[in-house]
Amino acid sequence: MIDSQLPLSLLAAVLAALLSAVLILLTRPLLLRHALANPNARSSHRIPTPQGAGIGVIAATLIVAGAVIILAGAKDASIPIAVFAATLFIAAVGLADDVRYIPVLPRLVLQGLAVAAVIFAAPNDLRIIPACPLWIERVLSLLAGLWFVNLVNFMDGLDLMTVAEAVPITAAVVLLGWLGGAATSTTIVAAALCGAMLGFAPFNRPVAKIFLGDVGSLPIGLLLGWLLLQLAWHQQFAAALLLPLYYLADATATLFRRLVRREPFWAAHRTHYYQRATDNGFTVWRVVGEVFALNLVLAALAVASTRMQQVSLQVMLLALGGIAVALVMRRFSQQRTSSK
């Protein structure tokens, strides 16, 4: 398994990185004219900046992943057609929202259709909790997937933040594939997305020359959610929770806090922990660096959890991950004292 997946994954990552960078270079002049992101209450940038680099990232991911999966020709390397189609659809929704605003409710309905296509196209024997009725599990998975897609979008509010999240998650899935814990097609898609994000990173480093836009953050959320769902369907629950734990904790805690305060949770804001960190004196590089380091720790815990049979040990690793996330969020929420 390692021998067959290693060269394919490396090939997918390298090709996707190169294609992503080329497509971003080619599309940026057009996006400068038609898709500028103006600063608002949520923004960390101060000048209008083009958005839409997700076009290059997603195109590179799907083109390269599809080509390498076909090249693989293995029994477990069939192209997940529903996932690719849903990714293109939700990317189109995101692009429309980038160029011309789509109201909240229609946007959620369209996103829900994309998530539903991924969830309900899966074979009935792929189950998270076999004792639970299938329709209940699929509906709950739909709601969770819709939330995950949106939280990735919510958290894409700082230069390199989505890179710091997506690269460790996808790299961990690739590693699990090499260890025999993921199908070839899953591993290749993860490798392609990882490479495409690395190709995007130089353009998004502070101060960013271009943003992903909803055309990038929404389909990236869908693809990451599908990868995590693959782990859950194969009974790797701890890994599926550990890998996105910082995003889950920050976005969910922020949502509940805004609901308790009766704030319009759908409106732009700067109350995520990573945003509060920049307001509290942390540089952008410091914030994304700490998030990236935290995600590497979570990825290591996730991979370790798949090698353990005892549920108690997996719970212990989850607890360790939760403590690490809580410490970083607490640190971000406090004013940074300057050292002299």
> E strands within the chain?
36-37, 49-50
How far is the C-alpha of 329 from the C-alpha of 319, rounded, in Å? 15
First to last CA, the chain: 54
Calculate the CA dihedral of residues 176, 179, 181, 184 and round it to 10 degrees: 90
Q: Which residues of 94-132 are buried (b: 16+ CB within 10 A; e: fewer)?
A: bbebbbeebeeeebeebbbebbbbbbeebeeeebbeeee
Q: Is the dihedral of CA 90, 95, 100, 104 positive or negative?
A: positive
pLDDT for residue 32:
87
- pLDDT given for residue 182 in this prediction: 81
| Backbone φ/ψ region at 262: left (φ over 0), alpha (ψ -120 to 50), beta | left
Q: CA-CA distance, 216 to 94, in Å (whole number)?
A: 7
Regions of the chain with pLDDT less than 70: 1-4, 38-46, 74-77, 265-269, 337-340
Model pLDDT for residues 197-223, shown as the tens digit of each residue? 999 999 999 989 999 999 999 999 999
**Residue 15 CB partners (closer than 8 Å, separation 6+):** 60, 64, 67, 68, 192, 195
pLDDT attached to residue 339? 46
- pTM of the predicted model, to two decimals? 0.93
Q: Is 1 exposed, middle or buried (0-12, 13-18, 19+ CB in 10 A)?
A: middle
Please report the pLDDT score of residue 224 as a whole number: 98
pLDDT at 161: 96
Question: What SS3 state is found at 209?
Answer: coil
Which residues are CB-neighbours of 65 under 8 A, at least 6 positions away?
Answer: 12, 16, 188, 189, 191, 192, 193
* Contact residues for 210 (Cβ-Cβ < 8 A; gap 6+): 24, 28, 31, 49, 50, 51, 52, 53, 203, 204
Count of alpha carbons within 13 Å of 189, Cβ hemisphere only?
26
Tokens of 178: 């090499």
CA atoms of 130 and 259, how far apart (whole Å):
33
- What pLDDT, in 10s, does the model give residues 273-288? 999 999 899 999 999 9
The two structure tokens encoding residue 125: 């024997």
CA separation, residue 187 to residues 21, 114, 319 (Å)? 21, 21, 27
